[in-house]
Each structure stands twice: as C-alpha cells, then as structure tokens.
C-alpha cells in the first residue's frame, strides 16, 4: 500500500483543500449569489464557503502534494459522508470525503481530513494499472474499475486511510470482465459497465455476481456501455425512485433502465445537439434528475426523471461557467453538492435553478380576460409570481412559494378576480418570476426574470 499525506500552509489557508474544503457549507450571512445573465442551473458556492476556489487545478495540487503529484487524465469521481466521520449533530453533515481517479498516474486522490490529501496507487503485491471509475459507500468501501487489468479493485477506507482488500475479475463465471469503465454502488450492490462485453454486471459487496443487464434481449441490448448511475436507496430520494442510468453506443445514447434492466426511456445525443460530443459519465440527484457529462463539447446536460431534456451547462456559453473536458461527475444527493472532474482539475457547484423563456400575455375569450404566464424551469423550485407596475412596485402577488417541477410551466389568472387598481387595457404591467432551488443554494440565490405583460 502507498499512501501519503501533506498539509503545508494550513495556518495560512486552513479551509482551502483541493477536494474537501470545497464541501463545507459555511453560514455566509447576507452573502448572495448574483443571478445575472449566466446560467444558474449549477452555481458556484459563495466566496465565504470556498474562499474563491470552487475550481482547482495543478497549482493547488502542487501546494497540497509538495509538488510531487500531477493531474493526468482525471476520470471518475465519488463523494460520501462516511459513518466514521459523522459526528453527533448536523453541523458536519456536509463535510464529505471526495475521491478522484487520476488515471494517467494510476492512483486515487482523496481527502484524509479538512487539511490534507491522501494518494493511493499500490499495495503489498500489486498496484492499480489504469483505474477509471470509482464508487463508495458510507461504511468506507471503495470500488475502482481498472480497465487495463480488467478487474474491480475493492479498497477499504478505515479512519481516513485507504487499504487494499481484494480484487475480482469474474473469471469464475465463465466470462471475465473486459474493459470495465463506469461503476456505481447503491443499496449494497455494485453496478459495473463491462464495456467489452456489452453489459452491466451487478455484484454484491463481496464481488459475487448477482445478475447481468443489457445482453440476451431479443429487441434491445447495450452496446459498449460507458457510464452508470443508480438510484434505489430511499435515503435522500424524494420520489422513492428505482432506476439505472447507462450511457452506451459510443456515448451517443442515454438509457434509463428498470432495476431488472428493461428500457424505460432512451435519449440519443443527436436529439439534443448537432455538435460533436456525446454522453459520458452520469449522476442522479435527490429529485432523480439526471446529469451527463460531455467531454468533447465541454458540457453537462441535465434531464428530468423521465429523461426529458432540461438544459445544458458549460459548453463555452460563458467564461465563468466554462468547463474544460468534463469527465467524472458525482452528486451528494442530500445537499445537492456537485463535483466534476475536468482535464486538469476539478470543479465544485451547488444545484441551482434557472427561469428560461418567460412570457406573459392577456387572453380574452367569451368576455373574460385572463393572464397567461409561461416559462421553463431547470430544477424543482419554489416559485413566486408578482404583477408589477412600470415603476417595479408590486401590484398583486399572483402566487407565492409554489413548489413546481422542472420543465415547461403555464399558469393562468383571471383578471376580474385580481381587483387591479388600473384596467389592464389602460396601464402597463410587468410580471416578475422569482425562483429558488430547494436545497444548497436556496439561502443565497433567487433567480428573478421580469417581463412585460403583453395585452391582446
């Protein structure tokens, strides 16, 4: 086993850690996140939470490794609150252990405390060859897919120190693993995309194969599956969802599968983009929304629980939101903390929300006039709708703090019931749509879109 820790300059920058200090939710009283023209679907946490470092790169790794380590082909990521780090009370519940696969140097980078990093690459009689995906559970089990050795490596984190436990290749089943890539742990079961065998293999924590998904179907099967994510555990699972997400077909297909492997929904890359790109790593959040990274286009795509496309993030749309070859993605479902591996570093975000394409108009039919407001949400949100005059003074609150699902929204209000001080036809009115995500960013970010009310 090889494991190192380094903690220089902790008296100067005690909160700056490459992977973990970015997870501590500080009570930044009064600090807000500006809701400007840029996308708000994923938002950088406030400065007091990250000290301005929601994105980290080689310079930060140099400091915390003593100039011994380099980012080289980062791939999978995983984040968890281990039971052995869970102190009594809720104050530390958001302080996570975050793991990243540094595939080019055949090692795992993880935080051993709030102030130090650990590195794991080898054990007494072996070492990682080309690690790719990583998955963890609360008890400290860590599973790593190694696509060169065609094995799953089981590690154990005991008191913030990684140790080798065992490896499996499933050769005893008659079909050994062949280029395993994505990996997920849910409810004590391990899900591995066995890319070379066109299947997802499900094992228990001991490595015994339980079932195979994606093969031997008459009308449907997986083709070179890549990323995998699973939601089944009822903890931090708003809808009690039970499904599997897999990317396959040379990264051009995103599949939602039942727990026994039957297709429930499929999205093809060309349905949402005409650019060069694809679906690579995937993650699922508390509301069962699905996120897929696109390494080639620099994007993260977001879908609802039915795989209806919601929006994209990054893609070079703005300098502040730009992602450089996003790879692995992991979401801590309880708080909506999102970690994304990039070409030479990693980024940390909170789940936010955005109001897109808002419009407001009056419609008169059979002598009755209504106000119709339309917009789209990129996240489950609490929404307030306010009718205002030209001077931005509220005239009527149409709805307040409504919980609304993501996607297209249409709300209708009868003008006669509003008792407006000035008739719609004679005065100019505006509608303001206010939206907040339900966790993480809710205390810091309120998206506001103000639009004129068009009169028919």
What is the pLDDT, as a whole number, of residue 129? 96
Give the confidence band of 5 by pLDDT, cuts at 50, 70, 90: very low
Give the confidence band of 17 by pLDDT, cuts at 50, 70, 90: very low
Model pLDDT for residues 124-161, shown as the tens digit of each residue = 888 999 999 999 999 999 999 999 999 999 999 998 99
Q: How far apart are CA 119 and CA 122, in angstroms?
A: 10
What is the pLDDT, as a whole number, of residue 3? 42
Q: How far apart are CA 201 and CA 133, in angstroms?
A: 14
CB within 8 A of 67, min separation 6: which ones? none
Q: How far apart are CA 434 and CA 454, in angstroms?
A: 19
Q: How far apart are CA 142 and CA 22, in angstroms?
A: 21
* Whether residues 112 and 48 fall in one domain: yes
* Whether residues 280 and 333 fall in one domain: yes
Model pLDDT for residues 77-95, shown as the tens digit of each residue = 999 999 888 777 666 677 8
Burial 22-39 (b: 16+ CB within 10 A, else e): bbbbeeeeeeebebeeeb
What is the pLDDT, as a whole number, of residue 38? 57
* Whether residues 155 and 180 fall in one domain: yes
Q: How far apart are CA 304 and CA 301, in angstroms?
A: 10
* Whether residues 198 and 266 fall in one domain: yes
CA-to-CA separations, 277 to 32, 234, 295, in angstroms, rounded:
34, 33, 7
**Of 351, 383, 412, at which residue does a domain stop?**
351
Tokens matching residue 298: 């620099």
What is the pLDDT, as a whole number, of residue 229? 98
The number of folded domains in the chain is 2
* Whether residues 362 and 345 fall in one domain: no
**Of 332, 351, 370, at which residue does a domain stop?**
351
* Whether residues 124 and 175 fall in one domain: yes
Model pLDDT for residues 253-290, shown as the tens digit of each residue = 999 999 999 999 999 999 999 889 999 999 999 999 99
Taking Cα atoms as reference points, which of 281, 402, 394, 422 lies closest to residue 341?
Answer: 281
Is residue 317 in some structural domain? yes
* Whether residues 271 and 401 fall in one domain: no
* Whether residues 194 and 229 fall in one domain: yes
**CATH code where residue 392 lies:** 2.60.40.4070
CA-to-CA separations, 273 to 29, 326, 423, in angstroms, rounded:
40, 17, 45
Is residue 34 in some structural domain? no
What is the pLDDT, as a whole number, of residue 170? 95
What is the pLDDT, as a whole number, of residue 375? 98
Contact (Cβ atoms closer than 8 angstroms) between residue 437 and residue 359 = no
* Whether residues 199 and 51 fall in one domain: yes
Taking Cα atoms as reference points, which of 232, 133, 121 lies closest to residue 177?
Answer: 133
Higher-confidence residue: 14 or 128? Answer: 128
Give the largest Cα separation in the chain, rounded.
84
**Of 351, 366, 392, at which residue does a domain stop?**
351
23: pLDDT strictly greater than 60? no
**CATH code where residue 176 lies:** 2.120.10.30
Give the confidence band of 24 by pLDDT, cuts at 50, 70, 90: very low
Q: What is the pTM of this model?
A: 0.90
Is residue 184 in some structural domain? yes
- Strands of the 394-404 sheet, one edge to the other: 394-404, 381-388, 430-437, 447-452
Question: Average of pLDDT values for 172-198?
Answer: 96
What is the pLDDT, as a whole number, of residue 435? 96
Contact (Cβ atoms closer than 8 angstroms) between residue 231 and residue 186 = yes
What percent of the chain is predicted at pLDDT more than 90? 73
Give the confidence band of 1 by pLDDT, cuts at 50, 70, 90: very low
CA-to-CA separations, 17 to 28, 116, 210, 293, 454, in angstroms, rounded:
18, 7, 39, 24, 51
Is residue 33 in some structural domain? no
Q: How far apart are CA 5 and CA 166, in angstroms?
A: 23
**194, containing H or E segment:** strand 189-194
* Whether residues 128 and 201 fall in one domain: yes
- Domain containing 47 equals 3-28+40-351
State the Cα torsion 60-61-63-67 to the nearest 10°.
-140
* Whether residues 250 and 295 fall in one domain: yes
CA-to-CA separations, 20 to 24, 151, 156, 234, in angstroms, rounded:
8, 28, 19, 26
Give the confidence band of 11 by pLDDT, cuts at 50, 70, 90: very low
What is the pLDDT, as a whole number, of residue 444? 83
Among 13-17, 36-40, 90-94, 229-233, which range has the highest average pLDDT?
229-233
**Residue written as token pair 């008792």:** 419
Question: Average of pLDDT values for 412-420?
Answer: 93
CB within 8 A of 342, min separation 6: which ones? 55, 74, 323, 324, 325, 326, 327
Is residue 292 in some structural domain? yes
DSSP secondary structure letter of residue 60: H
Model pLDDT for residues 345-367, shown as the tens digit of each residue = 999 999 999 999 999 999 998 88
Is residue 124 in some structural domain? yes
* Whether residues 217 and 132 fall in one domain: yes
Contact (Cβ atoms closer than 8 angstroms) between residue 396 and residue 420 = yes
State the Cα torsion 314-39-303-144 to the nearest 10°.
40
Give me the chain's average pLDDT, please: 88
- Strands of the 228-231 sheet, one edge to the other: 228-231, 243-248, 253-257, 263-268
What is the pLDDT, as a whole number, of residue 216? 64
The DSSP result for 426-456, as a single string, is TS--EEEEEEEESSSGGGT--EEEEEE-B--
What is the pLDDT, as a whole number, of residue 195? 97
The DSSP result for 369-399, as a single string, is EEEEEEEEESS-EEEEEEEE-TTS-EEEEEE
Question: Average of pLDDT values for 184-199?
Answer: 96
Distance of alpha carbon 419 from its chain centroid, rounded? 44
Q: How far apart are CA 434 and CA 387, in angstroms?
A: 11
DSSP secondary structure letter of residue 67: T
Contact (Cβ atoms closer than 8 angstroms) between residue 68 and residue 350 = no
44: pLDDT strictly greater than 80? yes
């Amino acid at each position: 086993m090889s494991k190192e820790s380094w903690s220089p300059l902790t008296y100067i920058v005690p909160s700056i850690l490459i992977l973990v200090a970015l997870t501590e939710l500080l009570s930044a009283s009064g600090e807000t996140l500006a809701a400007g023209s840029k996308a708000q679907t994923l938002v950088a946490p406030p400065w007091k939470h990250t000290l301005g470092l929601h994105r980290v790169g080689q310079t930060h790794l140099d400091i915390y490794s003593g100039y011994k380590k380099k980012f080289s082909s980062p791939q999978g990521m995983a984040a968890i609150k281990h039971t052995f780090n869970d102190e009594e009370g809720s104050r530390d519940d958001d302080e996570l252990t975050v793991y990243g696969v540094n595939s080019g140097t055949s090692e795992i980078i993880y935080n051993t405390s709030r102030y130090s990093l650990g590195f794991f690459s080898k054990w007494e009689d072996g070492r990682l060859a080309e690690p790719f995906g990583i998955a963890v559970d609360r008890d400290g089990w860590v599973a790593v897919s190694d696509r060169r050795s065609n094995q799953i490596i089981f590690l154990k984190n005991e008191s913030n120190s990684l140790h080798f436990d065992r490896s499996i290749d499933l050769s005893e089943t008659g079909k050994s693993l062949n280029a395993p890539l994505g990996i997920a742990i849910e409810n004590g079961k391990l899900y591995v995309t066995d890319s070379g065998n066109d299947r997802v293999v499900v094992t228990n924590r001991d490595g015994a194969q339980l079932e195979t998904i994606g093969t031997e179907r008459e009308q449907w099967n997986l083709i070179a599956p890549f990323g995998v994510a699973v939601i089944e555990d009822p903890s931090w699972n708003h809808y009690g969802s039970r499904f599997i997400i897999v990317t396959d077909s040379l990264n051009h297909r995103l599949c939602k599968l039942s727990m026994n492997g039957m297709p429930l929904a499929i999205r093809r890359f060309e349905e949402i983009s005409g650019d060069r790109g694809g679906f690579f790593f995937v993650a699922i959040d508390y509301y069962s929304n699905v996120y897929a990274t696109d390494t080639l286009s620099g994007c993260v795509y977001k879908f609802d629980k039915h795989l209806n496309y919601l929006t994209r993030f990054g893609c070079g749309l703005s300098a502040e939101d730009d992602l450089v070859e996003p790879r692995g993605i992991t979401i801590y479902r309880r708080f909506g903390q999102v970690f994304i591996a990039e070409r030479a570093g990693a980024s940390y975000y909170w789940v936010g929300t955005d109001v897109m394409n808002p419009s407001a108009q009056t419609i008169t039919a059979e002598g009755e006039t209504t106000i119709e407001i339309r917009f789209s949400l990129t996240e489950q949100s609490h929404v307030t709708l306010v009718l205002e005059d030209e001077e931005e003074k509220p005239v009527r609150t149409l709805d307040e703090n409504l919980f609304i699902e993501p996607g297209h929204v249409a709300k209708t209000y009868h003008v006669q019931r509003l008792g407006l001080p000035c008739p719609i036809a004679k005065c100019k009115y505006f509608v303001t749509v206010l939206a907040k995500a339900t966790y993480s960013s809710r205390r810091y970010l309120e998206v506001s879109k103000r639009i004129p009310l068009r009169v028919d």
